[in-house]
Amino acid sequence: MSAAFLAALADALGPDAVTPGDAVPERHLADWSGLPPVRPLALLRPRSTEAVSAALRLCSQHRVPVVPQGGLTGLAGAAMPVEGAVALSLERMNAIESVDAATRTLTAQAGATIQAVQEAATDAGLRFGVDFGARGSAQVGGALATNAGGNGVLQFGMMREQLLGLEAVLPDGRVLPMLRPMQKNNTGYDLKQFFVGAEGTLGVVTRALFRLHPAPRARATLLAALPDYDAALALLGRLQSRFAGGVAAFELMWRDFVVASMAWQQLREPFDTAHPLIALVDLDGGSEAALQAELEEALAEAMDAGLVVDAALAQSQAQAAAFWKIREATAELPANMQPPVNFDVSLPMAQIGRFVDECRAALQARWPGHTSVFFGHIGDSNLHLSIDGATIGGHDEAAEALVYGLVGRFAGSVSAEHGIGLHKKPYLGASRTPDELDAMRAIKAALDPLGLMNPGKVF
């Protein structure tokens, strides 16, 4: 059966688009989840939507499951191959098909990297709204399938909010060409929303039509030392009121994170004194001078109100980069924790400070002397936490149970931006009720009645 199936695929897609399992390159056997490699039945690399459609139709006819793969940078395992399933890589569909500066739209194939989209937008004098560390490898299709977030969410939202149109292929091969470039289009269910964040379980994204944003004209970067979490929340509120739409980043770092960042990167303390919290803020505005003046005034008011204890305003791009260097210690996590046990959770914004205190205390009670670092995009309700696995005796699962249990009690989400994939399946119930999961399964069964799309993921 398998030989006949592969022959039919080679016939439909061209022989160079079908790689049998034993010849599949290593890099397609795993993603960044850290899960052990799995060899798929075959790797398909179609060049067009029509070829994706033909591949899915054949898989459907032969009852062979399909795992869509993008840049393989996902941390939750949604793109991990499955034994007996084909892996469907979109990497050859990597064109930026069009950029329209007048109407600020861009059409990309699913295999284009986020960086390629960003560069095409920049070349047109515009800006793409989403940015995150894996930009050079992560692809449009995967970023949509996981509704990726990252650094620009405060200003422009996640991948979902960039989307004007989508082309997707259903598991049986039917193509949904939902690429009309209108923001307002209320004609029945907005089907494109269904594929965003579905982690490839409902179909395959083949093309996306994005809205673009104006390029920033001026930027200011601020490092602010804060007395406590409520002050952080109040400062964010004041800045968002004063610089409406202009707050591009508000990254909060707890003292444990700052200490680790200094040590790992051999940096100097940014302030004379150790402060419990440091906020790193990017602001966009009309002109450097006006922005700087307005920010200085806002800062003086915030200091008067006791919200900011000390602050530094970047006087150059180099200084702004130095401020950001503190936050970018996350790239050093793998080299400095054995291994890092990473969390990506979201919580009601008002509760994040209390959650951090309780979570740290609970970890400390269970593993005295453990090492953990807390940081996050709090304006998006998103908190990250990394624990040094060596300092909890390798009890990763116990730590996960502890943290996700607390997230559940705070009515938070076990996945802010990384998705569920394989890794977080056991904890989905902390964020979703049984009836919500039933409704999801009903939709899955409706669009994928044979259960062939990315089996075992999410549910």
Give the footprint of its own copies on residues 29-88 (CB under 8 A). Answer: none
Q: Does residue 266 interact with its own copies by CB under 8 A? A: no
DSSP string, 48-110: SHHHHHHHHHHHHHTT--EEEESSS--SS-TT---TTSEEEE-TT---EEEEETTTTEEEEET
In whole angstroms, give the CA distance from residue 198 to residue 397.
Answer: 25
CB of 120 to its own copies, least distance (A): 17
Of residues 174 through 193, those in contact with its own copies by CB under 8 A are 174-178, 180-191, 193
Residue number with CB closer to its own copies (68 or 197): 197
Q: Does residue 142 interact with its own copies by CB under 8 A? A: no
DSSP code, position 266? T
Q: Does residue 426 interact with its own copies by CB under 8 A? A: no
Residue number with CB closer to its own copies (394 or 449): 449
Residue number with CB closer to its own copies (161 or 332): 161
Q: Which of 272, 266, 261 is nearest to 324 (CA)?
A: 261
- Residues that bind its own copies (rule: CB under 8 A) add up to a total of 93
Q: Which of 400, 415, 318 is nearest to 363 (CA)?
A: 400
Residue number with CB closer to its own copies (30 or 428): 428
How do 86-89 and 42-44 pair as beta strands?
parallel
Number of H helices, E strands in the chain: 15, 18
Question: Could you say which of 71, 129, 353, 419 contacts its own copies (CB under 8 A)?
Answer: 419
The rounded Cα 424 to chain-centroid distance in angstroms is: 15
Cβ neighbours for 152, distance < 8 A, ≥ 6 positions apart: 129, 130, 131, 248, 249
Of the candidate spans 145-153, 267-275, 317-325, 332-340, the one that interacts with its own copies by CB under 8 A turns out to be: 145-153
Question: Could you say which of 266, 273, 316, 433 contacts its own copies (CB under 8 A)?
Answer: 433
Give the full edge-to-edge strand order of the sheet including 218-226.
310-313, 218-226, 277-285, 247-254, 372-377, 382-388, 340-346
Q: Does residue 122 interact with its own copies by CB under 8 A? A: no
Of residues 330 through 369, those in contact with its own copies by CB under 8 A are 346-350
Of the candidate spans 28-36, 84-92, 194-202, 362-370, the one that interacts with its own copies by CB under 8 A turns out to be: 194-202
CA angle 237, 211, 294 (to 5 degrees): 30
Amino acid identity of 35? Answer: L
Q: Does residue 138 interact with its own copies by CB under 8 A? A: no
Question: Could you say which of 214, 306, 393, 394 contacts its own copies (CB under 8 A)?
Answer: 214
Other C-beta atoms closer than 10 Å to the C-beta of 383 total 27
In whole angstroms, give the CA distance from residue 80 to residue 67.
Answer: 8
Of residues 271 through 290, those in contact with its own copies by CB under 8 A are 284, 286, 290
Residue number with CB closer to its own copies (312 or 450): 450
Question: What distances in angstroms separate CA 198 from CA 4, 31, 300, 421, one per listed residue?
Answer: 31, 17, 45, 10
CB of 300 to its own copies, least distance (A): 16
Q: Does residue 306 interact with its own copies by CB under 8 A? A: no
CB of 181 to its own copies, least distance (A): 5
Question: Could you say which of 67, 153, 253, 295 contacts its own copies (CB under 8 A)?
Answer: 153
Residue number with CB closer to its own copies (242 or 395): 242
Of residues 384 through 413, those in contact with its own copies by CB under 8 A are 411-413
Q: How many residues does the chain have?
A: 459
Question: What distances in angstroms separate CA 161 from CA 5, 128, 145, 235, one per listed residue?
Answer: 39, 11, 13, 25
Question: Could you say which of 52, 196, 222, 283 contacts its own copies (CB under 8 A)?
Answer: 196
Residue number with CB closer to its own copies (50 or 310): 50
Residue number with CB closer to its own copies (74 or 270): 74
